[in-house]
Chain A
Amino acid sequence: MTPDEQSVFKDKLAIDQDGIIEKGLIAGISPRSIYNRLKTEDRAKLILTATVVITVAVLFFIILFISYNSLDAITQIGMWEFLTGASWSPGSGAYGASSLIVGTFLVTGGAILFALPVGLGVAIYINDVASPRVKSVLKPLCELFAGIPSVVYGFLGIVVLVPLLLDIFPNHLSYGYSWLAGSLVLGIMALPTIISVSQDSLAAVPRSYREASMAMGATKWETTRKVVMHSAVSGIAAAAILGIGRAIGETMAVMMVTGNAANFPEPLWNIFDRVRTLTGSIALEMGESVHGSLHYSALFLLALVLLVIVLTVNLSARRIVRRTKMKMGEIAKPSRETKIAQMMSPITKSFEAVSDRYKETAVKIAIYAFIFAFAFMISSLFIGTYGGLAIGVLAATILFISKKLSKMLGPKHVQKVVYSSLGVVVLAVVAILVVFLAIIFVRGMPAMSMDFITSPPSHSGAEGGIWPAIVGTLELMLGTALIAFPLGVCSGVYMSQYAKDSKFVRVARQAIDALKGTPSIIFGLFGMSMLVIMFGWGYSLIGGCITLALMVLPTIIKTTEEAVSAVPAELSEASAAMGASKWQTISKVVLPAAMGGVITGFILSVGRAIGETAPIMFTAAVAFKTTVGFALFEPIMALPYHLYYLVSEVPGATDNQYGTAMVLMMIVIVLFAAASLIRRTYNKKVGW
């Protein structure tokens, strides 16, 4: 070793012992020279850590910006008045958000009421009945379902669902736009989340449980119902809650079909009445409100309320999953309980003791009460209170009789009935998707021509093409990818390879989960208040890219983390045994092996991002711009926003509306096809 090398070696030791920053401070060395002295190992770790810090900072800044902008509203209106006031009418100075909050929960509740049973049914079908071949078709279909952009759902809601509902309930539905329409659209949108999460939790139930039950002579369905569902109940609950979380934050589709009347339905369960949601109000009025006004601030306060609701919902989902995992012994119980938990423990324990004893009866009563109430509410809308009561009793009786009947039938027949009706449900769901796509493609075809693709819109978009919007969407996609890919993948690698159970990592995990559940319109408001207004960029391509990149970042981190963690430990152990350092192992062995999964997840996220309207409508997209160019600080046209514009502003332009929707769907489908192709070739190649 030359003296020179020796000193470097000593320096390195010193760094390892004293800590990087401390040493740098004492010696008065610039950060750059510290960085230069680091080993590749430490450099890699430093960069990876930095990306995670950025992610955490994003959440912090989102909360900061939303709260800061809502300060005016909190001080001038008052939190209590804001939350409880019944009238929302900014023009006359009334800022009572209670009808909007209630509206949000009503639409979401209605959606889950129909999406949870259907989604669970599909999940059970996939898990129990479907052959591997059917499964391999259903899963990608489900992903595609999730990939249909919100604005396309809203468009279909307006052109298909609303007229259909008006035909079915001509006497009850005065406008077509209604709570019912909103819940149906939202329910369909929440289905993929519910299906995939509950299917995962059904599949995660240990085989031995099933085998034990089947060995006792139970049928497959009995096993599923009494054993599998029982132990997967937390996962299913989490699926429901995540579905709710997604539905609460949904903007475009809801805004387009609910009618947006800021009132309470009369009576409260009148699904034919019009409602307005938090997200709908923000999207509807943000464009109209003057920056810095009380109205503007009040809309940010709405966003803050929305954020709090969504975070609470997602947090409770995580808690439920954790608790059950603890119960099942999958993860260790925390060694010390928090103070609050200690104080609460006598209460929770006694509650648990009581609830265990009466659980069955309570659940039974609850089911009957629910069926009765539901039947009453719906039918009373049609035939009055007394008729409703009668129908409610009838429904409860039917449930009772069908239970008795199923006992008489015997388990074999019951299973047949259940599985075939589940099959019908699956068919119906697939049919909805196929009909959706068919409508768009059949009605979009007449618009397709070289001219439509390559020329700018004219006459407010009623004529001409969509070239600037296609280019804008592709530019957005490229920019989003360039920003999100390095950040997301680096963070993902850090979270799976370097993260220990330290405080920083716990905070980072929470932040990533919180960001993942944050509604897209909140990202839009964040981008608007920071990039458009504070930085003074105005509407710009770069603003849209950054906003979308931040939105997809947590998803990319999660999928990367999963893909990297799925690489068998033997591979990295073998590499380490050959004397490779940690970073060498990661960069040369683990990451290449995980790349298929990483890229698949990445493409899916970007596919979802480019269909989003809410984040770009306040940051990047304008209604008209006939020229095309790659100017970072100029506004752009984008397909989802153009579709929204055509639907809401140019009612006569049916051909162009369908044409735009079709091109948007084609881009999404191409991305999804690419993703599943990569996954397939990859799965074949990797043999574990």
Chain B
Amino acid sequence: MESKTQMIIAVLLTAVICIAGTYVLINGNSGGNNNSNNVSIVATGSTTVMPLMTEFQEEFEKHSKVTISISGGGSGVAAPGVRNGSADIGMLSRDPTATERDLRSLIIAKDGVVVIVGANTGVTNLTLEQIAKIYQGEYTNWNQVGGTDQAIRPVIREDGSGTRDCIDTAMKTVAGFNTNNYNNYPSQSSTGSMISSVTGTQGSIGYVNLGAIKDLGSATPLTVNGVQATPENVINGSYASLSRNLVLLTGNNPSTATQSFLNWIMSAQGQAIVEAEGFVPLPKTDRP
């Protein structure tokens, strides 16, 4: 009995060690190279920029030996990540704040915030003022803004989200706007869960970034003050109140790999991906 158990253990252990050993042998070399040449890039920050970044990564890794890891978190973690060295690139879905100016920033694309509604609202356009009054709890039924008799169910993004920051800033231009009611609304931690929440809820209203317009499902995008959220309108400034920049932060001396990645993003090839993803590429004049 003893010997059999020992056999089992021995076999298990040997198996584990063998697998681990072969693994290290096969992959160890590439891992070692990675470290010595520092061709591994870590990007962290805004969940709005993240999907775009994954497209960059996929394309860029095809013709370079750079490995890129991407994690979300939100615009708030971009600068600290770059500062403490846990990330090479910080992703922001807004302009850098005063405290983030010590880092190098690069505008890679523009974006607009799209207001979306769920089923049964009967509304296709809202003014910014109406949106603000909905979110501060003054309007509670769609018939108050010209829609059907259906309760309004606002959904918000979590504290720290760049998208929420953008629309809140816009709504704050409306006199008397406050966020006192925000604790009554479900708060979604990402663009994706925002969409599922709005599509799954009758009479709901929420907001996503321009790039998410192709994934809206049964949710409807609204025009704001009569202007549709499109790349053209973001560029020509007619959707200015709800548009923003997508920015990448790096340290002041980025590694060669990081720099070549950034250069590639700003090239025609990189900017074509920006457009394909539904964001607004930078006008040629603005590219470095």
Contact = CB atoms under 8 A, between A and B. Distances in A.
Given A289-B160, A623-B71, A628 B190 contact: no
B72 A686 contact: no
B192 A650 contact: yes
Given A174-B201, A175-B204, A176-B201, A291 B73 contact: no
A117 B215 CA distance: 43
B201 A175 contact: yes
A259 B287 CA distance: 42
A455 to B, nearest CB: 11
B86 A629 contact: no
A208 interface: no
B264 interface: no
B54 to A, nearest CB: 5
Interface in B22-64: 23-24, 27-28, 30-31, 34-35, 40, 42, 47, 50-51, 53-55, 57-58, 61
B129 interface: no
Interface residues of B, number: 76
Interface string B51-95: 101110110010000011111111011011000111100000000
Interface in B185-234: 185-193, 195-197, 199-202, 204, 215, 217
Interface in A246-269: 259-263
Of the four ranges (under 10, 10 to 19, 20 to 34, 35 or more), the interface on chain A belongs to 35 or more
Contacts of B192: 647-651
Contacts of B148: none
B153 A175 contact: yes
Contacts of B184: 261, 263
Contacts of A174: 151, 153, 201
B1 A284 contact: no
A478 B18 CA distance: 12
Interface string A162-180: 1100100010001111000
A416 to B, nearest CB: 44
B2 interface: yes
B27 A630 contact: yes
B158 A285 contact: yes
Contact of B190 (A274, A625, A648): A648
Given A174-B151, A536-B84, A629-B34, A261 B196 contact: no
A158 B188 CA distance: 13
Given A259-B186, A262-B183, A290-B76, A626 B58 contact: yes
A175 B156 CA distance: 12
Interface string A613-645: 000000001111111111101110000000001
Given A292-B80, A627-B67, A631-B35, A261 B73 contact: no
Contacts of A649: 47, 50-51, 72, 190-193
B159 interface: yes
B98 interface: no
Contacts of A163: 200
B5 A596 contact: yes
A650 B214 CA distance: 12
A373 to B, nearest CB: 26
Contacts of A162: 200
Contacts of A89: 159, 179, 182-183
Contacts of A648: 188-190, 192-193
Given A649-B72, A649-B192, A624 B86 contact: no
Contact of B187 (A261, A459, A645): A261
A459 B31 CA distance: 25
Interface in B75-133: 76-77, 79-80, 84-87
B9 interface: yes
Contact of B30 (A91, A482, A595, A629): A629
Instruction: Tell me which of B6, B27, B53, B151 has the highest count of chain A C-beta atoms within 10 A of its own C-beta.
Output: B27
Contact of A459 (B2, B55, B71, B151): B55
Contact of B159 (A166, A177, A288): A288
B2 A652 contact: no
B80 A263 contact: no
A629 B31 contact: yes
Contacts of B240: none
A316 B55 CA distance: 52
Given A288-B158, A290-B77, A651-B196, A592 B5 contact: yes
B19 interface: yes
B183 A288 contact: no
A185 to B, nearest CB: 16
Contacts of A589: 2
A92 interface: yes
A287 B77 contact: yes
B284 interface: no
B64 to A, nearest CB: 12
A592 B70 CA distance: 46
Contacts of B77: 287-291
8 contacts: A89-B182, A175-B204, A262-B187, A289-B77, A460-B54, A589-B2, A625-B70, A650-B192
Given A262-B187, A685-B4, 7 more contacts: A260-B186, A276-B187, A481-B16, A538-B85, A624-B53, A645-B72, A649-B72
